[in-house]
Homo-oligomer: A and B are copies of this chain.
């Protein structure tokens, strides 16, 4: 039996709430039938509204409250149904939670999990489409997790909540349709999780996270049909960022395409490239690494513009072919 990405998230919540009395979840939409897709359906009736708490429209207050409970022995998961709404809570995430351990000398833990949903497309426009993983990956002290498969959606949620550090867990509504057979749940140590090689090949390395990792896998399948074999690396944990697997793969294939569904300037794709450049002898590279990102523009609404705004499998394949073809690239 297969399970979808949204349902797998719900499995993660169910496991946590059933097995860890210190876990509770709080945020907007938790008593709603539709607000967070099918990822938390009926948790409130299953575990009670004392542990599955819907809230006023107060992102900053709610996030701060979750942090407070985390300092008192609980493992709260605060829910932001959109990344955009979460930006009102940046102070509590970035200036409070992420720094709490360090600024108190490493003596106390702040095991809050902030779950925010990337919810793009559908002509929702500029204020309802941000993902911003590059922002949060930039913040020391904050672990940033982006699952791209149902299994990871479930198991990395569990690992996030059980981590003693604050974690930002980002899931993407575009992945909710993805189905797979789920292995039994295993409690993993988030500090041991990181990028993973999900396909191997000699010609090119495709790197992405979340929905971009999914696009990379699809692109790799298409490229394989063209005789081009890819390493595909799913970043999974963006911060603290461990580039070693990417570096190893870059040395092997000599070509890297970094794909990210966030903006370009100072984005995660830039980090992937910089990390490679710092560690890989350029002479082993067969082409310079390249990135595929959003253009540096706010999201539009109009459907034709939306279609050219988001990276697609087609576009990745096209860029990959160019990169592989460019045995000798031309630079102006």
Contacts and interface: CB of A to CB of B under 8 A. Distances in A.
A108 to B, nearest CB: 14
Given A90-B90, A271-B266, A278-B288, A141 B99 contact: no
A95 B274 contact: no
A130 interface: yes
Nearest to A136: B266
Given A288-B277, A289-B277, A263 B138 contact: yes
A224 interface: no
B277 A273 contact: yes
Contact of A274 (B102, B262, B270, B285): B270
A321 B300 CA distance: 47
Given A138-B134, A140-B297, A280-B331, A103 B88 contact: no
Interface residues of A, number: 58
Interface in A283-298: 285, 288-291, 295-298
A32 to B, nearest CB: 23
Please tell me how many copies of the chain the complex holds: 2
Interface string A124-152: 01110010101101111100000000000
Interface in A253-280: 262-263, 265-271, 273-275, 277-280
B87 A298 contact: no
A91 interface: yes
Interface string A286-318: 001111000111101000000000000000000
A266 B99 contact: no
A319 B50 CA distance: 56
A174 interface: no
B87 A103 contact: no
A137 B266 contact: yes
Interface in A205-260: 239-241
A296 B90 contact: no
A281 interface: yes
A98 interface: yes
Contact of A99 (B95, B102, B273, B298): B298
22 contacts: A60-B88, A84-B95, A87-B90, A87-B91, A95-B126, A95-B127, A102-B300, A103-B127, A132-B138, A135-B135, A138-B266, A140-B295, A240-B296, A266-B266, A269-B274, A270-B270, A273-B274, A273-B277, A273-B278, A274-B289, A274-B291, A279-B331
